[in-house]
Structure 1
Amino acid sequence: MQKRIIGDNRPDPVSLTAQQLNLEELADVEVSSEGTEHPIEAALLSGFSRGWRAGMPGKQAIRLLFKQAQPVKCIQLDFLESAIARTQEYVVRISQDNGQSFREIVRQQWNFNPQGCTAASEQHAVDLPAVSIIELHITPDISDSSAFASLEKMRVF
């Protein structure tokens, strides 16, 4: 049993013990669109100063296709929005059978506001022995289809 004190700001134990997957070697990526100055690699790989940004407004999808099924313990997602107030929703789904079926892991909404909350960082702890596909679907603003999706960082452990 793991114990945490409510309000404790220490890092999640999953991120301290699990090894980050090398997505560059282990997976191919599909993305619904990307801006020329903000490619998807900027969110998935280290060494970039800015994350991914969609090349067109509206709902977007990012799909990691593992070359061989991988054990997954944690999916970390970081979002930044300092320009406009919006309510974003994202859904993470996984497949353990190369896309024959998918299971929703998380569906979450987050309110961004330039005068208040401009960042969201989530670690979704899972215990999946063999994942073949991870899908991230982003609705950048649930009330405005002209908003652009972005993702600062996605890490898989």
Structure 2
Amino acid sequence: MRKSIVSPSATAATPISDLWRDLERIARVEISSEDEKFPIEHALGKHATTGWRAAATGPQLIRLHFDEPLTIKRLHLHFVDQASERSQEFAVFAGAGSELKEVVRQQWSFSPQGSTEEIEDYPVNLSGITTLELRIDPDRSHDPKQSHEYASLQSLKLA
């Protein structure tokens, strides 16, 4: 058996906050709607802010186009709604160019009396990714004319 003793500092993991990609620097973003008080930049930074909110009700789209193909190992999404009683669905798609495949789809019920935050942290193994798309249906109506809720996103992080 070969053995060596290492100091605890040598085995310490890199802090998670240091692993997150700087999305503002490495990506161009397209959005379907934006409330000027809650711009998309507030949801894509490494630090906590007020997040993004749509200016219109109904399903919304956030699409990131990366400057260079990425390998993504972790996807972290954080949604907050302290006012509405609603069921939301989101889906994440990723791929190269216009060839996107669904990575994850999730539904969540918000309630001001209980569940006001949804935090999803997914280990993924995505390589060669040039486009990542987040589709949010804030009240699962799938029809903008029937929707009464505004989509929002507290944060989106990739590692």
Q: TM-score over 0.5 for the alignment?
A: yes
CA contact 2:43–2:49 (8 Å) conserved in 1? no
Tell me by how many angstroms 1:107 deviates. 0.7
- Go from structure 1 to structure 2 and tell me whether the alpha carbon gap of 1:17 and 1:52 turns closer, same or farther (over 3 Å shift): closer
Give the structure 2 partner of residue 9 of structure 1: none
Query: Is 1:81–2:81 an aligned residue pair?
Result: yes
TM-score, length basis structure 2? 0.84
CA contact 1:86–1:112 (8 Å) conserved in 2? yes
1:67-114 deviation line (CA, Å, top 9, x unaligned) = 11011001100000110100000000001x212x11100111000000
Give the structure 2 partner of residue 120 of structure 1: 118
Give the structure 1 partner of residue 129 of structure 2: 131
- Go from structure 1 to structure 2 and tell me whether the alpha carbon gap of 1:148 and 1:22 turns closer, same or farther (over 3 Å shift): same
Give the structure 1 partner of residue 158 of structure 2: 156
Tell me by how many angstroms 1:49 deviates. 2.5
Tell me by how many angstroms 1:129 deviates. 2.1
- Partner Cα distance (1:154, 1:148) in 2: 17
- Go from structure 1 to structure 2 and tell me whether the alpha carbon gap of 1:127 and 1:41 turns closer, same or farther (over 3 Å shift): same
Give the structure 2 partner of residue 98 of structure 1: 97
Amino acid at match of 2:76: Q
* Percent of pairs with identical residues: 39
- Partner Cα distance (2:46, 2:91) in 1: 23
Secondary structure (helix, strand or coil) at the match of 2:43 reads helix
Give the structure 2 partner of residue 60 of structure 1: 60
- Go from structure 1 to structure 2 and tell me whether the alpha carbon gap of 1:114 and 1:17 turns closer, same or farther (over 3 Å shift): closer
Secondary structure (helix, strand or coil) at the match of 2:19 reads coil
Secondary structure (helix, strand or coil) at the match of 1:149 reads strand
Which aligned runs of 4 or more in structure 1 are off by greater than 6 angstroms? none
Q: Figure out how many residues of one structure are paired with residues of the other and give that number.
A: 142
Q: Return the structure number with greater strand share.
A: 2
Secondary structure (helix, strand or coil) at the match of 2:140 reads coil
Tell me by how many angstroms 1:142 deviates. 1.3
Tell me by how many angstroms 1:130 deviates. 1.5
TM-score, length basis structure 1? 0.85
